[in-house]
Structure 1
Amino acid sequence: MPRKTAAGAAETRHTIVREARRLFSERGFADTATAEIAAAAQVTEGALFHHFKNKRALFEEVVNTLAREFHDEVQAVGHREQDARPAFLAATRAALIFSQGEEYRRIVLVDAPSVLGSAVAREIDSRFGLDLILPVLRALAPKGSAEPQVRALALLVLGYLNEAAFALARGDGDVDVDTVMAVLERTLDRLILT
């Protein structure tokens, strides 16, 4: 019996997150009420609050879910390549494209910094982003490169990609994925591959 209860609770939680994600994507955090999420998930508000302390905690779970999907998708693209450099470039392009999907753009790029605060949003981004970037830059770095230098470069690349994703989401006229990739490739050549 306890297994069935645990499985049911997990399924309920999953349904709440799925419906919250859909509504946050369609309406944004501010315009989505917990009563609407509960109704869409076919649970009571009490059940929703049993699983999540408040709407912000539910939103943070949605952001983490999207960040995990982003991580898994980008990593899968990178693993299709045999060598570190093409893997990094393919994964980076996939990251920029994924970040422009409507759900990710609205929830992670637009709402997360204001709802969660910049410190929490950055922590989530760094946790998933650096996990993708650091191993590849370690592989690309010349033998004997100091770890602090590689980590500093990873932070630089993560910041560059984040700002590029924000510019793409805003529709900045002179910024497109091909331009961002060309600049990144030239920068890598100068900073790490020479």
Structure 2
Amino acid sequence: MATGRRAETMAETRDKLLGAARRAFATQGYAAASMDDLTASVGLTRGALYHNFGDKKGLLWAVIAQIDDEMAERLRRVRERAPNTWQGLLDDGTAYIEMAVEPEIQRIMLLDGPAVLGDPSKWPGENACLQITMRTIRSLIDEGVVHALDVEAAGRLLNGAALSAALWVATSDDPSAVRDKAVTAFRRLASGLLGDQV
């Protein structure tokens, strides 16, 4: 019984820290977010932060993983709503680019995350997205919708285009205008994968 309560308390502490960090990183930015203020805001100490996440960078990784999971779920629903696999692939990439105008995603995932943690194409979440894209492309090739080509190459190029577009949107002076241009170009580029008979 005591072990179960202890695990529950640890999970609550972790959730409190994650929530506080997410708010602080989204509103103040990673560099400006004070770990003392962050922990105090939820009645915890820096020791709790270090115990659960190691350091500030570890906390950022955890926040990014949480947001990434939420984004992946949103994209899954987008794909499932599409009338067919091809439209699902296009809509997935489009939705990913469009998320770049959302303040929290823009700040944490596309500005501070890459600046602190390095190339987002190497992050675990991006690799999971790549696997989904490659499976989708394989299905589309099997169905004759997409040209027969190297699945990994096509997946990496398509995901890279969406990621690059999202980063462009996030760093631009007018994210909404850039988003519209990026989505149009992404969809046109992706259509180059279509087979001749489609």
Shorter-chain TM-score category?
Answer: 0.7 to 0.9
The farther-off stretch of 39-48 and 71-80 is 39-48
Match of 2:20 in 1: 19
SS in 1 for 2:123: helix
User: Structure 1 pair 173/24, CA: closer, same or farther in 2 (3 Å)?
Assistant: closer
SS in 2 for 1:31: coil
Matched, 1:136 2:136: yes
Matched, 1:103 2:119: no
| CA-to-aligned-CA distance 1:130-155 (integer Å, 9 cap, x gap) | 13322221222256999981111110
Match of 2:126 in 1: 126
Q: Distance in 2 between matches of 1:9 and 1:146?
A: 51
- Which stretches of structure 1, 4 residues or longer, exceed 4 Å deviation after superposition? 142-148, 172-175
Match of 1:183 in 2: 185
CA contact (8 A) 2:100 2:166 kept: yes
Match of 1:69 in 2: 70
Q: Structure 2 regions of 5+ residues with no counterpart?
A: none
Kindly tell me the number of residue pairs found equivalent between the two proteins.
193
TM-score, normalising length: structure 1? 0.87
Match of 1:112 in 2: 113
User: Structure 1 pair 152/54, CA: closer, same or farther in 2 (3 Å)?
Assistant: same
Q: Distance in 2 between matches of 1:85 and 1:165?
A: 21
| CA-to-aligned-CA distance 1:110-162 (integer Å, 9 cap, x gap) | 111221123x6632353232133222212222569999811111100111111
Q: Give the aligned CA root-mean-square deviation in angstroms.
A: 2.5
Match of 2:45 in 1: 44
TM-score, normalising length: structure 2? 0.85
Match of 1:5 in 2: 6
Q: Distance in 1 between matches of 2:42 and 2:148?
A: 46
Percent identity between the two aligned chains:
26
User: Structure 1 pair 167/12, CA: closer, same or farther in 2 (3 Å)?
Assistant: same
